[in-house]
A and B are shown apart, each in its own frame.
Chain A
């Protein structure tokens, strides 16, 4: 079953603009992770934020986590055409389910 829902489902922006993707989830989590998937390829881990963290940065990526609202956002600053991909949030439940469950994903298109 899907733990997370992401919005928007699709996002199209110009190169240089910022892209923001949101993820909501339903149950208590231990951590939340963001992955990128280029078309026809495997997923690449971008960043992991633990439930006791509120914000994390990695290069042009900024992730926030609000456990009270059960939501997270991924901000990509100064986007590039190479950032075009699908982005998935994934949650690791703090309950008995010991698996990483992926959200529905956001398809980001960065136009040159």
Chain B
């Protein structure tokens, strides 16, 4: 079991549905991440939150909308997805998230991953 909890484990949704993925960690980490992973491929970064503020958006389509209500929670709101969005969505957290803006020091801590949400868009 991981210290990062993702719900639901599996999700099937139609292209007109609205759903949300949830992620929770209680390790006091201040950086949280969403990754997308297709079968037999490495994870691809989608979003990074640092101190509850969006720090990185890797040109993700607007049908994916992240939200960080507090330092322990991270949501990913889904709307009007396409079948090609079917994938494993992974949440991760790490220590040492710095404030947005020019970074003078790296996020050099290991990432702690949840077990992901397997999303199927029909």
Chain A nearest CB, measured from B39 CB (Å):
10
Interface contact B116-A98, CB-CB below 8 Å: no
Question: What DSSP secondary structure best describes chain B's contact surface?
Answer: loop
A45 touches B116 (CB 8 A): no
* Cβ–Cβ < 8 Å partners of B55 in chain A: 98
Q: Does A101 contact B (CB under 8 A)?
A: yes
Interface of A: prevailing SS: strand
Cα–Cα distance between A96 and B111 once the two chains are bound (Å)? 19
- Chain A hits for B43, CB < 8 A: 43, 88, 102
A45 in contact with B106 given A98-B55, A99-B45, A101-B45 (CB within 8 Å): no
A35: which B residues are within 8 A, CB to CB?
Answer: 111, 113
Q: Is the CB of A25 closer than 8 A to any CB of chain B? A: no
Query: With a CB–CB cut-off of 8 A, which chain B residues contact A88?
Result: 42-43
Interface residues of B (CB under 8 A from A): 2, 4, 6, 40-45, 48, 55-56, 58, 88, 90, 92, 102-103, 106-108, 110-116, 118
Q: What A residues does B107 contact at CB under 8 A?
A: 92, 98-100
CA distance A94 to B56 in the complex (A): 16
Most B-side CB within 10 Å, residue of A2, A42, A103, A107: A42
Q: In the assembled complex, which residues on chain A have CB atoms less than 8 Å from the CB atom of B4?
A: 42
Q: How far is the CA of A101 from the CA of B116 in the complex (A)?
A: 18
